[in-house]
Amino acid sequence: MTDRLNSRMRASVFHGDRRITIETQDMPPVGEGEVLVRVLRTALCGSDFKLWHKGAEFTAGHEIFGVVEQPGHHRHGQRCAIYIPVHCGDCDACRAGDTQMCLQVSSLIGWNRPGGYAEYVPVP
């Protein structure tokens, strides 16, 4: 992908009440310190069952495998599994290696930010 401006992708939308549709959406924005990953596989997790019933604000999917699709980035073309917690890396908990207890960031890919039931996902 060389020009993502005005690019679109397909993504699953979890509406709730056991209804999921595949819809065309804008590509997700890629933030500072992130890369775009082209999703190759996303495993179905038991926690997705809740979203199937209740719906999801963001694109679901947190068991993600893909390839970095970021021309010019040193990891472009590399396959990767996605680590879903997003953490600051600077607080006491992160410096101690306890990133799951980050004091600054509380974000999970596929839960409260876009996830892997789409063609592309931005990741740190």
Going from N- to C-terminal start, the domains of the chain cover 8-82+109-123
Supply the DSSP string of 32-72, one letter for each residue: TT-EEEEEEEE---TTHHHHHHH--SS----SEEEEE--TT
Given a cut of 50, is residue 1 above it in pLDDT? no
Report which of 44, 9, 57, 12 is spatially closest to residue 30, judged by C-alpha positions: 9
The pLDDT tens digits of the residues spanning 35-77 come to 999 999 999 999 899 999 999 999 999 999 999 999 999 999 9
Q: Which CATH architecture has domain 8-82+109-123?
A: Alpha-Beta Complex (3.90)
Q: What is the mean pLDDT of residues 14-27?
A: 97
Give me the sign of the Cα torsion angle 99, 88, 85, 72.
negative
Q: Return the pLDDT at 12.
A: 97
Amino acid present at 23: E
Q: Return the pLDDT at 6.
A: 63
Average pLDDT score over the chain = 92
User: Which residue did the predictor score with more confidence, 99 or 56?
Assistant: 56
